[in-house]
Amino acid sequence: MNILAIESSCDETAAAVITAERKILSSVVLSQDEVHAPFGGVVPELASRQHLRSIGYIVAESLQRASLSTGDIDAFAVTQGPGLIGSLLVGLSFAKGLAYYYRKPLLGIDHLEAHMEAAFLENPDIHFPVLALLVSGGHTSLFLLKKRLRFKLLGRTRDDAAGEALDKIAKFLDLGYPGGPVIERLSAGGDSEKFAFALPRMKDGSLDFSFSGLKTAALRWIGETKMSNRHPELPDFLASFEAAVVRALLENLAEAVGRFRPVSLILCGGVARNKRLRTGFDELARASCLNAYIPAPQFCTDNAAMVAALAAERLRGKKKPPLSLDLDAYPRFSCARE
């Protein structure tokens, strides 16, 4: 069985083909970074227009690289949400058209669940219970997974996502877009203890995250030190800010480990490409004697292989998947499955 998946929730147009045994036959990702870079962030209207331009070509390319034609596809999958509504609708409508024409099932996939699924792509035998920390440009969330395809939201950001905070500070200093990788590059060799950042604390004992306080503190430092993209202490400043974001993420994860006693940890989402975060995550897992899984970098940022993999998992053992096209896009996360 071959599954073709489409992902267009934000600013990557992606398509992938995978077999029922989860062998990736192709995974094509077209980034829109160049379109959004002049604005220092994703412009929703430009994103959906760019998806419209690229989607046909990207799907064709994914089929060609898999050496298949559309008629060889047994099921289609598409990201339903959360994400930018216009961007989601482009992928969803395109996938509906394919499924309708070829009379094949279409599965709607949750973007956040797909990010977690990326960890299972290379490690199908992860032991449960699992705590998953999902860190991206749009989301920062902590999930508890008790078994396959079952997950509960434990905490989420109350304001900015971690990646968004990195992107905004990079934009403010005119460093380029997306900010996360630029900050990682420019902070190399910097002293991460030069600038002190107090970490946010939730007074109600929740496992929610907050990054707006760190962002405000960073803006204050920028004002006080006249920080700029040519300032000699820029690497120290960026290293300190990045380290504070990482500490905020990992302190919450450590708290959740104490409360929920998982067997394994997953780190996923675009910011999971970050070396400082990956290292800290591995150290935390080792200190707590837990298994740790991080997807390969190309499966951390948005891609369609993770969407296809989740569809394959959902179809496993099912004789006759539904042929319904009754799927709607949703902009916000809404579907924890316990």
Binding stretches for Zn ion (CB under 5 A): 136, 302
User: d(Cα 198, Cα 158) in Å, to the nearest integer?
Assistant: 17
Dihedral angle sign, alpha carbons of residues 94, 96, 101, 103 = positive
State which of residues 36, 215, 273, 278 lies at the interface with ligand KG4 (CB under 6 A). 273
Q: CA 90 → CA 97, 128, 129, 221, 297, distances in Å?
A: 11, 36, 36, 41, 26
Per CB under 6 A, 82 contacts ligand KG4: no
Please give the size of the binding site for ligand KG4, defined by CB under 6 A: 19
3 state SS for 63-87? HHHCCCCHHHCCEEEEEEECCCHHH
Q: Please say whether the beta carbons of 27 and 305 come within 8 A.
A: yes
Find which of Zn ion, ligand KG4, none residue 167 binds, CB within 5 to 8 Å per kind: ligand KG4
Give the span between the Cα atoms of 270 and 137, in whole angstroms.
7
Regarding 278 and contact with ligand KG4 (CB under 6 A), the answer is no
176 binds, among ligand KG4, Zn ion, none (CB under 5 to 8 A by kind): none
Residue 183 near residue 171, CB atoms below 8 Å: no
Q: Which is nearer to ligand KG4, 6 or 315 (CB)?
A: 6
Question: With CB under 6 A as the contact rule, which of the stretches 44-52, 95-103, 136-144, 218-226 interacts with ligand KG4?
Answer: 136-144
CA distances in angstroms from 42 to 25, 52, 210, 281, 306, listed in the order given: 30, 16, 21, 28, 22
Is there binding between residue 269 and ligand KG4 (CB under 6 A)? yes
Nearer to Zn ion, 113 or 302 (CB): 302
Binding part of the chain for ligand KG4, among 98-106, 134-142, 186-194, 255-263 by CB under 6 A, reads 134-142
Binding partner of residue 180 among ligand KG4, Zn ion, none, CB under 5 to 8 Å per kind? ligand KG4
Question: In this chain, which of 270, 278, 280, 315 binds ligand KG4, going by CB under 6 A?
Answer: 270
The rounded distance, in Å, linking the Cα atoms of 238 and 268 is 22
Q: Which does 271 bind (CB under 5 to 8 A by kind): ligand KG4, Zn ion, none?
A: ligand KG4
Question: How many residues are present in the chain?
Answer: 338
Give me the residue label for tokens 């999971």. 272
**110 part of the interface to ligand KG4, by CB under 6 A:** no
Backbone angles phi, psi at 230, to 5 degrees: -115, 5
DSSP state of 201: -
CB of 21 to ligand KG4, least distance (A): 26
Nearer to ligand KG4, 184 or 236 (CB): 184
Please report, as residue ranges, which positions from 175 to 194 form the binding site for ligand KG4 (by CB under 6 A).
Answer: 178-181, 184
Q: Considering the rule CB under 6 A, would residue 104 count as an interface residue with ligand KG4?
A: no
Contacts to ligand KG4 by CB under 6 A? 10, 136-138, 163, 166-167, 178-181, 184, 269-271, 273-274, 301-302
